[in-house]
Amino acid sequence: MLRVLRVLLTIWAVKLSALAIRALGRPGTHTPGLIARKLHPGIIGAVRHPARVIAVTGTNGKTTVSNLLAEALEAEGLRVASNRSGSNIAAGVATALIGAVSWTGRPKADIAVIEMDERSAAIILPGLSPDLLVCMNLTRDSIKRNAHPAYVAWIISSALPVNTSLVLNADDLIASSLGSESNPRVYFAVDRLPTDGDRPSGAAVDIEICPVCDHTLSWEYWRFNHIGKAYCPACGFRSPEAAYRARDVDAASGRVTLELDGQSRQARLINDNIVNVYNEIAVAAVLDQLSVPKDRIVAAFELLSPPTTRFAAEVVGDVQLVRLLTKGLVGVACSRAFEYLTSFRGRKAVVLNIDEASERSTDVENTAWTYDADYEYLADDSIAQIVIGGARRHDQALRLAIAGVDPARIVTVESETAAADLIELDGVDEVFNLHSVHNALSTGTPVQRRLRARLEGSAERESGAESNSSSSAAS
């Protein structure tokens, strides 16, 4: 009885604190969870969960996949509990779970989709005990907070309940190794693409040796970092076979073929960035595991899109304006953004704000992560200008110069938002707004707004000039 009362008191305290925080006009996601864990350290396991719980983790893609899954399940008519607007560490998970119960502790949701920070697995997983865990990838992350991805995999596996089913990335030898023999598992993958190679290259490669016999691995295809389909010519070890695959990725038509456990379906391609191709097939795999009919899975992608704070593209006048989240401190994520940027065919200008400067005055940013990122992509001749804002602008400029970017194309400015005013718009076909997670709203949004306004003004001036020219010719 005392245990039940303690859970109820914790629920009431959290709900009241969340109401108070929202009344003050602030987002109530992290602080209520801190209160919950202070009052009841085991609240994640003690509070009643929805009938089914899905956890989504990995170095990159977990936020997008969580959001897409929640939207797809809501479209199926389910009441979904999710921490998509809050923290993915223990406090945020506690807030989401308590928000999904009534004042008497009864579940109000049918299913929970919980984004989980991979390093927090040891704290979250034992109490959360998800029915299904999705791991997008485990690649090199922030140097100051993460160890080697294989160590992070060990943390997750050590905390996994024995009855949790796994949906894993077959193209990632680290992520695909999660769990034990007791964990049921299925895999997803992306078939070979025209841009794939047959041997690793780049700044960061985390697996090159066979985990069974220590022989050098060979690759049927290699994509980036340690992502691809590998095999060992010495002992026969190879990447697992995937029941869920994305193939025939066609950016021009915006279509992709999804192999769903033996059945093929044509679907809308939510985004042609390789990261989002993986996100799409992962979402499809989870929905199929949840017994959503395959035709409805495909139909869901007609409406689903990545969050606009992470990717958005619009045409203003004759120029395409692209907003792209780059997740600073994570070299692999930045490399994928830089590579995707170069896939656009026109002449480009780039606003680069990926400092990840901490709001804590006692914290120190380790800029070594920039040497885990392939800035060499930005040495492309199609990029006319790169304007860098923020406290670490000179470190970024140096890394760009080392990568081969002509220093004449690099502009630095102290203010991140002021970078939008220094971009030369004449003669460019695309303008890119690259920002990170921490400054998505404080920098990414106002920069996008300012770039849009400048492009609209430029388009209006051009239209006015053409109109005046036509009038003069007529007279």
Distance separating alpha carbons of residues 272 and 219, to the nearest angstrom: 23
pTM: 0.88
Give me the phi and psi of 384, to 5 degrees please.
-80, -30
Q: Name the band, by pLDDT with cuts 50, 70 and 90, for residue 274.
A: very high
370 and 281 share a domain? no
Q: Are residues 281 and 345 in the same domain?
A: no
Would 190 be classed as within a structural domain?
no
Q: Is residue 237 part of a domain?
A: no
pLDDT digits (tens, 9 = 90+) for 207-260: 999 999 999 999 999 999 999 999 999 999 999 999 999 999 999 999 999 999
The predicted pLDDT at position 467 comes to 59
Residue 30, pLDDT score: 76
Which tens digit of pLDDT belongs to each residue from 29-41? 678 889 999 999 9
Position 305 scores a pLDDT of 87
Shared-domain flag, residues 29 and 108: yes
Asked whether residue 28 carries a pLDDT value surpassing 70, the answer given is no
Residue 65 shares a structural domain with residue 23: yes
46, 123: one domain: yes
**How much is the average pLDDT of 180-201?**
95
Q: For the chain, what is the domain count?
A: 2
For the chain, give the longest Cα–Cα distance.
Answer: 92
Tens-digit pLDDT profile for residues 156-166: 999 999 999 99
Given a cut of 70, is residue 358 above it in pLDDT?
Answer: no
Q: Is the confidence at residue 364, as pLDDT, over 80? A: no
Residues 288 and 434 in one domain: no
In sequence order, what are the residues at sequence separation of 6 or more whose Cβ sits closer than 8 angstroms to the Cβ of residue 325? 309, 310, 311, 337, 434, 435, 436, 437, 440, 444
Strand ranges in 23-93 using DSSP code E only, listed in sequence order: 52-57, 80-82
Domain co-membership, 292 together with 396: no
Report the alpha-carbon distance of residue 388 to residue 293 in Å, rounded: 47
HSE at residue 455, side-chain half, CA atoms within 13 A, is: 24
Residue 125 resides in a domain = yes
Residue 17 is predicted with a pLDDT of 87
Here the CATH number for the domain that contains residue 320 is 3.90.190.20
pLDDT at 355: 75
Tell me: the pLDDT tens digits for 432-468? Answer: 999 998 888 889 999 999 999 999 998 887 766 655 6
Question: Which pLDDT does position 232 carry in this prediction?
Answer: 98
- Statement: residue 473 has pLDDT above 70: no
Do 272 and 249 touch, CB atoms closer than 8 A? yes
**Residue 357 in this model has a pLDDT that exceeds 80:** no
CA 380 – CA 378 distance, rounded (Å): 5
Let me know if residue 324 belongs to a domain: yes
Choose the most confident range, by mean pLDDT, from 14-23, 303-312, 424-433, 437-446. Answer: 424-433
H-helix or E-strand spanning residue 276: helix 274-289
The confidence score (pLDDT) of residue 470 equals 55
Q: Is the pLDDT of residue 359 over 70?
A: no
Residues 283 and 418 in one domain: no
Question: Domain containing 414: what range?
Answer: 311-462
| Residue 461, pLDDT score | 79
pLDDT in the model for residue 5: 85
Say if residues 114 and 66 touch (Cβ distance below 8 Å).
yes
178 shares its domain with 323? no
Say yes or no: 296 and 408 in one domain: no
Token pair, residue 135, equals 């791991």
Instruction: Say which residue, 473 or 123, is predicted with more confidence.
Output: 123
The answer to whether position 209 is within a domain reads no
Q: Are residues 294 and 315 in the same domain?
A: no
Question: What is residue 361's predicted lDDT score, i.e. its pLDDT?
Answer: 55
**pLDDT reported for residue 159:** 96
Asked if residue 262 belongs to a domain, the reply is no
Shared domain check, 156 and 17 = yes
- In a domain? residue 254: no
